[in-house]
Structure 1
């Protein structure tokens, strides 16, 4: 088994969902642009050069303010990897939110993202969520068109199982190279499903069995959204796991944020964490996860897992 190639070109991605102001259609302002500039500069200083978007983040404003940053920084586009997602439509009026992976919708959403981001090509496009009504042949046509026109270099998915990826790939001429899933020391289903086989507790695990192994076998990069667990371990005194994270960070001469990312990165699947904090100090605290190999021993990795799950392994 070999480690997945890093499609996005980095060991950590910065997730841009927090940029652009509120979750509404109110226009972004100068303060939002200034925040995005500061965040991007801090991420670059920490060695992070891959940036993850979605067309729905802040109703498109996350992409738009990032486009402002690109337009003001000569040469920046050539130094970074840009990734975005499409496939979710937010609620509108009386219509609830829904998923939409119809071919024309995919093409239109990509064109809109390119305009907001002020670039002529996406390095990676992910299909954000499975659409039960999607025609895979129609998806294949849309992706082929985007690739042929030079608008998207590589493709992937988000929140999809191995079975869903394999089914979709059977229709595609272009390879799916990424699967982005929620993975962290808090959301551990991705690792729990492998060890709870043949135990009653397996029924309570929602992660699709075999997805991690399938992605490794197919050379699909696993990206972990929510990698910092939403700050649940930020207070070292709040939980036994938080206290252990703090002790291991002190022992390794690094930060708790880095330890959380190391826990993901140490797994042989080659997991690439996505961090979404907008606080510069927390972005800087992730630098060692970019510049250093995971500094956890085999035993320490298991200590963290056991502390977080709160019960012994079966």
Structure 2
């Protein structure tokens, strides 16, 4: 079973801010420049969600596609649904993974994106009220109607993945979870087995091994830690951040590349199908990040980065 490595362009920053302001011509130009830069270097995967910039991310993406229809055949487009913003107390979000709601959100995403089908649809968050059989019915309907080709999940534990999978006949193709140098819980649970370091159940115990054995893709969101280790050494950084940033800069010079590339290359070493998601709309950053696929860190470099970012030694 061969693993796949790729970079996904996250589109959460498309369409302007998280407000009711209309999409501007400048927003559309920025989206088009980002999409074209991604396609030019070979990046085909684009990640959306119905809530990103309140629907404007999908809408501006659709406008670009309408003006350049030939782009679609070179794209793998995915979107997510299941979060309803500002419907809970004090403006909090609630979740809804019911059949009627998810199908309606797919319809709306297709309309905004101006496409006939979605390559991959992900359930955005685990809903305590979700029903596995109902989710399978939802997937079956969307696939039978030709609206969605593949299905996956996001931010789900091993048990939640297995719960849905027992009802759905096809393999869930991906789990989009937070994973990076600065958030390596998925890996920490593996090395901390039977130690006092494992003082709580993170929900991802065994998920890494499950993905390896089933070839389920890990889509790593937050892959660059919002630049936490990529800035030049600054006074307000912790010692842990300074040491990690220093090593990243050293490796970037060694491999003649940028710091972002090294942080992504660290993820790509993992022996699993993994697709880190980047959230930039800057064309030069997109091009730089994609170079990570051609960088192969050594085992020693990989461990040095991980231990420095963790801030504690391995057991």
Partner residue in 2 for 1:39: 34
Partner residue in 2 for 1:278: 281
2:248 and 2:259 in contact (8 A); partners too: yes
SS in 2 for 1:75: helix
Partner residue in 1 for 2:166: 170
The 5 Å alignment of 1:184-203 reads: 184-203=180-199
In structure 1, C-alpha distance between the alignment counterparts of 2:81 and 2:279, rounded to whole Å: 18
With structure 2 as the length reference, what TM-score do the two structures score? 0.93
SS in 1 for 2:173: strand
2:83 and 2:94 in contact (8 A); partners too: yes
In structure 2, C-alpha distance between the alignment counterparts of 1:130 and 1:74, rounded to whole Å: 34
2:215 and 2:272 in contact (8 A); partners too: no
Partner residue in 2 for 1:244: 247
Change (3 A) 1:211 1:121: same
Equivalent in 103, 106, 120 of residue 124 of structure 1? 120
SS in 2 for 1:284: helix
1:192 and 1:205 in contact (8 A); partners too: no
In structure 1, C-alpha distance between the alignment counterparts of 2:219 and 2:248, rounded to whole Å: 22
Equivalent in 283, 290, 315 of residue 287 of structure 1? 290
The 5 Å alignment of 1:213-232 reads: 213-232=209-228
CA offset at residue 25 of structure 1? 2.3
CA offset at residue 173 of structure 1? 2.2
Partner residue in 1 for 2:17: 22
In structure 2, C-alpha distance between the alignment counterparts of 1:214 and 1:59, rounded to whole Å: 34
In structure 2, C-alpha distance between the alignment counterparts of 1:207 and 1:171, rounded to whole Å: 21
SS in 2 for 1:65: helix
Change (3 A) 1:133 1:51: same
Partner residue in 2 for 1:66: 61
1:144 and 1:174 in contact (8 A); partners too: no
Change (3 A) 1:207 1:282: farther
Counterpart check, 1:115 vs 2:118:
no
2:80 and 2:121 in contact (8 A); partners too: yes
Moved more, 87-96 or 21-30: 87-96
With structure 1 as the length reference, what TM-score do the two structures score? 0.94
In structure 1, C-alpha distance between the alignment counterparts of 2:287 and 2:27, rounded to whole Å: 20
In structure 1, C-alpha distance between the alignment counterparts of 2:133 and 2:33, rounded to whole Å: 42
In structure 1, C-alpha distance between the alignment counterparts of 2:200 and 2:39, rounded to whole Å: 40
In structure 2, C-alpha distance between the alignment counterparts of 1:110 and 1:197, rounded to whole Å: 40
2:181 and 2:309 in contact (8 A); partners too: yes
CA offset at residue 161 of structure 1? 1.1
CA offset at residue 144 of structure 1? 0.2
SS in 1 for 2:86: coil
Counterpart check, 1:264 vs 2:267:
yes
Counterpart check, 1:298 vs 2:293:
no
1:190 and 1:207 in contact (8 A); partners too: no
Unpaired runs of at least 5, structure 1: none
Equivalent in 140, 165, 175 of residue 136 of structure 2? 140
SS in 1 for 2:53: helix
SS in 1 for 2:265: helix
Q: What is the RMSD of the two structures over their aligned residues, measured on CA atoms?
A: 1.6
Counterpart check, 1:183 vs 2:179:
yes
